[in-house]
A and B are shown apart, each in its own frame.
Chain A
Amino acid sequence: MSRRRASLPSVALGAHVWGFFLFLYLPIVMLVVYSFNDNAVSMMTWNGFTFDWYLRVLANLGLIDRARDLAGSDNLQLYSDPNLGPAAVNSLIIALSSAGLATVVGTMTALGLARCRFPGRVAYRVALFLPIVIPDIVLGIALLVFLATLGFPLGRVSVILSHTVFLASYVAVVVGARLAGMNTQLEEASADLGAGPWTTFRRVTLPQLMPGIVGGFLLSVVISFDDLVIAYFTCGVGATTLPVYLFGAIKRNVSPEINAVSVLMILTSMLVVGAALWLRRPRQHKTEA
């Protein structure tokens, strides 16, 4: 293609794209910038560059020893809340466990829907979307009432199970999409060559599904880690998650430490999403038959 002079529509389109990205990412960029601000009192007034908020977060997580002379150490109430650490640990445990469970349940659901014929299959497929479509707050309250009616003790386990309920739907959709694009002839060929259903599943189906499964798992980790509403309603003793903690904390006095925590959360999410995209990338050497 030859170079052309920029026409009005293409300039407008470019401006729109840049404006859109600015709108999306400027708040996050500001958050990152101010997480390095050495001003303990006024978060939005630039004072100087510091890593202290990150050191504080690490100290609160118990990863490093607390140094005495970090920024703002004269204001004890704001900057030494040790509940941050357990909350982050809770979030990690809940995200990994619920994503693990949801991956197993979701993958089995997707396989069942794609490979088996049973009455009510279409209704089931539609119902699968419900947990994704229902507003979080409705799902959260419903789950809390349900758990309370059963007399199920609220704690980490109740959050893990609640997250599994809706994450399984996400995994089933992601894995289902992969299954739909998969060639059933390979499975038939495997059966022709004498492999039993289990061997076929393990050697042929599963490896092909793997990117979808891992993608679904990582997506679930991120969704669970970020979830506030459902975790709020279903968490119990000793199970305050990081989003629930942060949501309560901003109503008190906002510590710049929160910026640092948020940046670390964004980084974690980006790493996980990056890994998911990388795993789901189309393989160059495998072309469609």
Chain B
Amino acid sequence: MRITRHLTAAALLAAALGSQAHAEELHLYNWTIYIDPAVVADFQKESGVKVTLDNYGTNEEMLAKIQAGAEGYDIVFPSVFMQDIMTQLGLVTSAGLKAIKGYENLDQKYFLAETDKAHDVCMPYNWGTTGLIYNKALTKGYDVNSWKIVFDPPEALRGKIAMLDDIRETIGAALVYNGFPFNSTDPKELAKARDTIKKAKPYWAALLTDGIGDKVINGDFAVAHWWSGSAAQTVSSKPDAVGYVIPKEGANGFQEDMCLLAKSKNVAAAKKFFAYMMRPEVAAQNANWLHGGTPNKAALPMIDKGLRDDPFLYPSDEVRKKLSLVKDLGDKIRLYDAVWTKAKAD
């Protein structure tokens, strides 16, 4: 009995020491359901690196944790503006992407962070737009290609509009509808956007961020403000019933980047993962799974035809010029808070 116990203890100790000495590890911290599990599994198999994957729901949650000193994670997936914030706070360090094989596959036309003008610090991971998903039957005969449909809806669609419960997205859309820049901090322009929202709000059924696809399919909403990746997934499941557009006035483009944390202890393994993710076939597999946009130009031929040929998922250069990225506004965000509180309260 005692001998067995000693033997077990010895074996456990040996196993613990052994694993510390040999197996490389990599700890990913990503949005929930935001990477194809097969990609992670294949990387583990090929490289022998043991990968863990933990999840967060918003940029701010992730920042709060990393900033409070949570250690152990190697790679995070912030949005571009959050990459800027994290770089300025010294939480993210350059992955030295230019020196990694596969860098030439990255398309430099994709969104650049202020602090990273050549995609050297972080790897562009996935991008998309915030546009409108619509029920084809209910919107028949109406022009869904403009923000007018949500800010000044026709009689028949009133009460069947849903907007994102997201301060920057919805105020941004109102700004763009009025012909102002998406990231405007001009109080006069913001006042105009506030009035637009106040006027349109009685026609809106809801401000929300989840359960949107279901409700557009079954007709609770005729038009809803939504992110392209989730929308594309819904559209691909019911292509006859729903569609997705980028309004002609322009829209928000978003992009998440893959960044190396300054406190990472597994830099070598992380670089292997960066190189792996820059391979065209891996980037294409992941983008197909996400129904997203890949910033990897060599991957484009391998993107599902249905996604690649959709002008609202892979927009032309002309449309892309009208996309703007959420920028970190610093203190000026208070102007938005004031507008949002006022618009929501009235």
Query: Once the chains bind, are A239 and B31 in contact (CB under 8 Å)?
Result: no
Q: Which residues of A are found within 8 Å of B236, using beta-carbon distances? A: 75
| Residue B291 CB within 8 A of the other chain | yes
**Is there contact, CB below 8 Å, between B210 and A250?**
yes
B-facing mask of A70-84, CB < 8 A → 1, else 0? 000011111011110
Interface string of A172-204 (1 = CB under 8 A from B): 000000000000000000000000000000000
| Contact with A245, one of B55, B210, B214, B291 (Cβ below 8 angstroms) | B55
**Do the beta carbons of A41 and B57 come within 8 Å of each other?**
no
Count CB-based A-B contacts (< 8 Å): 110
B71 adjacent to A238 (CB under 8 Å): no
Q: Please report the total number of A residues contacting B with Cβ < 8 Å.
A: 42
Q: Are A153 and B68 in contact (CB under 8 A)?
A: no
* 0/1 string, B229-245, CB within 8 A of A gives 1: 01001101110000000
Contact for A237 among B27, B210, B237, CB less than 8 A: B27
A76 to B33, CA, bound (A): 11
Which of A41, A75, A141, A235 is within 8 Å of B214, CB to CB? A41
Closest to A150 in B: B69
Which chain A residues border B291 with CB–CB below 8 Å?
A: 77
Contact check: which of A44, A81, A148 meets B69 at CB < 8 Å? A148
List residues 7-52 of chain A with CB under 8 A from any CB of chain B: 40-45
A254: Cβ under 8 A from any B Cβ: yes
Interface residues of B in 7-42 (CB under 8 A from A): 27, 31-34, 37
CB-based contact A248/B32 at 8 Å: yes
Partner of B57, one of A78, A149, A247: A247
Task: Enumerate chain A residues within 8 angstroms of B213, measured Cβ to Cβ.
Answer: 41-42, 253
User: Given A83-B37, A149-B69, A153-B72, 18 more contacts at CB 8 Å?
Assistant: A41-B213, A43-B211, A45-B218, A77-B289, A81-B33, A82-B37, A83-B53, A148-B68, A154-B70, A155-B72, A232-B61, A236-B71, A238-B54, A248-B31, A248-B32, A248-B56, A250-B210, A251-B210
Which residues from chain B sit less than 8 Å from chain A, CB to CB?
A: 27, 31-34, 37, 52-58, 61, 65, 68-73, 209-211, 213-214, 217-218, 230, 233-234, 236-238, 289-291
Chain A contact residues, CB within 8 Å of chain B: 40-45, 74-78, 80-83, 141, 144-145, 147-149, 153-155, 232-233, 235-240, 244-245, 247-254
